[in-house]
Amino acid sequence: MVRVAAVRDGDGRVLASATSPFEVASDGARREVDFLGVEAAVRDALSAVVTIVPEGLDAISVGIAATASTVAVADRGDGGPHGHGLMWADHRATREAAAIRRAGHPNLVRMLGHVSPEWGIAKLAWLAGSGALDRSSGVVVELADWLGFRASGVWAANAGTREWGWAGGDDGAVDPALIEAAAVPRAAAGWVLDDVRATGAVLGVVQDEAGWPRVLRGVPVLVGGMDSYLAAVGMGAAASGRLCLTVGSSSAAIGGVASGDATGRMFGPLRNAVPGLTEGAWQGGQTTAGLAAAWARRVLGGPEGALGEAAADAPPGSRGVTFRETMLDRRNPAPRSPMRGSWSGLGLSHGPGDLYRAVLEGIAFGLADACGGLQPAEVVATGGMLQSELFATILADVLARPIVRLAETTSAAALGAAFADVPERVADILEAAATTEPSGADYEEARARYRRAELPDLDEA
């Protein structure tokens, strides 16, 4: 889903917003998107927004949010894709990721030694091994960087994405040795963009021939970044001691160095990822949060509302049922890929409510572990999972902190994109929609069960 928001620069008020879907082709490990289809969705949402903005586009910023860690091969000349893009949840690069991890490159230290199949560096190696890089004029590019080129005509890679998903050095450069570790020729490094720029930097202006709404032509285009990083900007991450959680299909936990020391447990400190956190950002999260919940709803069947009510009737701890939400891999605190999820502790007396509540609790336990070492002054959260009052309460209990949910006037990532060049202003303009206080439920024993229920590694070969 593409989300677009137009916000007034003076006070950050959202003047208009729109969404537009795009298709994901999914079959087992394959999850692909058509970049041109995403571009069409962006154009549709932009056209809707600029039509209903009541005050024109003077002193207004427009933010676009789509999906990140999604790469494709494109022509360097006009950006035309050479095929479908590999979405973040496409894990066909498992072998390549494992080979790059085994190389033990110094750039992987801040990534806890990890490389995930979802990352651009692993996908580049997979594309090279599959023969997709046979053309001489191509580039392997992230979706956000590709959209920036399609609007401005300027190729540049985002520094934050390079630091995280490409194991880039401090200058954003990708070491060919990392690619070579996956038994791929070093020449594949030539398919990586050389120009690396910070999130929020001016990339260029919307070109007349780009095909965007006429009113946008000549408007500056800023370098975009990963959706979870920009969502943190849109939640006011620049405020000292604030931990920002996004809990959607996957989850992301982002906090500044002022929130605590997460060395060895969270990725970082990342120097270029989150605008406004100039001292560095810690990042953690889960590959499958809402994805795991959606899978469980399909398996358990019945209306979603009825399943949620049954889960609310089950006691904290789910009467001994434990769920591991690591259905693709684990990002942190101890990265492992691939992994599998599980239900355990099942008995004949258990019903759908016990099983689904265990899913919600497992997601909360995994997210809390992903925030290891941080002692934030406050926690703000957004994302589809937070629409469940039950999940919000479980998360507050597990974190032992109130959860401040922001007003859902628009996508946090779209808001963050609109303010990527002035991130320090966001915290002062946000409005809290609700605060969920801990209920006092005791999850200590259930959390211990969750940790004991980890399955052994799968064969990475």
Q: Which residue has the higher pLDDT, 68 or 356?
A: 356
Burial class (CB in 10 A: 0-12, 13-18, 19+), 190: middle
Question: Which token pair is 201?
Answer: 């930097």
Q: Please give the pLDDT value at position 414.
A: 81
Question: Residue 24's pLDDT is what?
Answer: 92
Q: What is the pTM of this model?
A: 0.83
- pLDDT attached to residue 54: 65
Question: Which segment of 40-49, 81-90, 381-390, 415-424 scores lowest on mean pLDDT?
Answer: 415-424
Question: Can you point out the beta strands (E) in 143-266?
Answer: 157-158, 196-197, 202-205, 220-222, 242-247, 251-256
CATH 3.20.20.70 fits 2-225, yes or no: no
Task: Give the mean pLDDT of 148-174.
Answer: 92
Mean pLDDT computed over every residue of the chain: 90
Q: What is the mean pLDDT of residues 441-446?
A: 97
CATH of the domain spanning 237-461: 3.30.420.40
Domain with CATH 3.30.420.40 in the chain: 2-225, 237-461
Angle at 164 between CA 171 and CA 423, to 5 degrees: 80
Of the listed ranges 332-346, 358-372, 415-429, 440-454, the one predicted with least confidence: 415-429
Ramachandran region, residue 247 (left: φ > 0; alpha: ψ -120 to 50; beta: rest)? beta
The two tokens of residue 453 are 């229920």
Decide if pLDDT at 461 tops 50. Answer: no
Task: Please state whether beta strands 242-247 and 378-382 pair in parallel, antiparallel, or not at all (unpaired).
Answer: parallel
For residue 197, how far is the Cα from the chain centroid? 20
Cβ 10 vs Cβ 59: under 8 Å = yes
- Strands 14-20, 196-197: pairing is unpaired
Please determine, for residue 134, whether its predicted confidence score (pLDDT) is greater than 80: no
- Cα 403 from Cα 400, distance rounded (Å): 9
